[in-house]
Amino acid sequence: MGQIDYQEWAANKNFHVGYTLVFNYNDQFHNVKQVTHQGYESCNATSPAATYTNGSDTVTLEKLGHFYFICGYPGHCLSGQKIDILVASAASNLSPAPSPKSSERSSASHLYLISMAAVYQVGESAGWTSMGQIDYQEWAANKNFHVGDTLVFNYNNQFHNLKQVTHERYESCNATSPIATYSNGSDTVALEKLGHLCFVCGYPGHCLAGQKIDVLVAPAASNLSPAPPPQSSEPSSASYLYLTNLSWTLSVLLAFCLSGFAY
């Protein structure tokens, strides 16, 4: 249920021997385990073939076949933090490779950057709405948000929108002069820095009815365990449901073809 389908991503690539994967992630909350196909399918991270915990791990694809990677933290693989990389022989270039002239020789210098972070699906099936059963503040209080994570707001943009506002305007449900306005209906908000991010719906009455959320982005080192912090001191005025959707934002951003570059 993640925003990013690792398998779809991988399916569009031609991996060859010598290519390199770089996994970037917050090592307080994730790791990378290379497992067997069975381990991959069953999300079983015990007895991994290799374990990476650095947070910026380089894995070279040294042979043909499948390479299976999962996150070893409880529940993460099950929620989609897993990837199956098939390393094919250079000859099996089925699809139009974006690098036509790169032969085996140059293929050894391909680098795939994989950054992993948490994606929080706001509202799950309910989405960002004013008619839910879930308390946004309670939901947020149970999460540890970190820089690099992503919030996804899904809603019917005929009836709602999303405004990032100051904390003061959040408190008073004043959506004027927003810091940012989203009205797409499927809005992705990257958590790019520490501190509070406050959002309200700008439609009349919705914020007052509880369609508002205050997300605190904390330093990575702060809370190790995802233990529900009993810090939900704020009265929960909201009545919405947010569910987490922890998945690797394996937003493999780029495939650098470094062939031809001189070191």
Beta-bridge partner residues of 65: 87
Residue 201 touching Cu ion (CB under 5 A) = yes
State in angstroms the smallest separation of the CB of 159 from Cu ion: 6
Please, which residue, 34 or 121, has the CB nearer to Cu ion?
Answer: 121
Cα gap 159→161, rounded to integer Å: 7
Which residue lies nearer to Cu ion by CB, 24 or 211? 211
Q: Which long-range contacts (CB under 8 A, 24 or more apart) does 40-46 make?
A: 40/68, 40/69, 40/70, 40/82, 40/84, 43/70, 43/77, 43/78, 43/82, 45/70, 45/71, 45/72, 45/77
Site string for Cu ion, 47-66 (x = CB under 5 A): --------------------
| Beta partners for residue 122, in sequence order | 153
Q: Which is nearer to Cu ion, 140 or 201 (CB)?
A: 201
Q: For residue 154, state whether it binds Cu ion (rule: CB under 5 A).
A: no
Smallest separation (angstroms) from Cu ion to the CB of 241: 14
Contact status: 160 vs Cu ion (CB under 5 A): yes
CB of 150 vs Cu ion, minimal distance in Å = 21
Which window, 66-74, 86-94, 159-167, 169-177, contacts Cu ion (CB under 5 A)? 159-167
* Nearest distance from C-beta of residue 127 to Cu ion, angstroms: 10
Residues written for the chain: 263
Nearer CB in complex with Cu ion: 21/238: 238
| Region near Cu ion per CB under 5 A, out of 172-180, 185-193, 203-211, 250-258 | 203-211
Q: How far is the CB of 161 from Cu ion (least distance, A)?
A: 7
Could you list the beta-strand ranges (E) of 106-258.
Answer: 110-116, 119-122, 145-146, 150-154, 162-165, 180-182, 186-190, 195-200, 212-218, 255-257
Measured from the CB of residue 206, what is the shortest distance to Cu ion in angstroms? 3
Residue closer to Cu ion, measured from CB, 2 or 210: 210
**Measured from the CB atom, is 59 or 201 closer to Cu ion?**
201
* Residue 33 near residue 45, CB atoms below 8 Å: yes
For Cu ion, the binding residues in 206-225 under the rule CB under 5 A are 206, 211
* C-alpha to C-alpha distances, 18 to 21, 58, 90, nearest whole angstrom: 10, 12, 10
Three-state DSSP state, 189: strand
Q: Give the Å distances, CA to CA, from 98 to 68, 112, 128.
A: 24, 14, 38
Token pair listed for 184: 């797409």
Q: Site residues (CB under 5 A) for Cu ion?
A: 130, 160, 201, 203, 206, 211
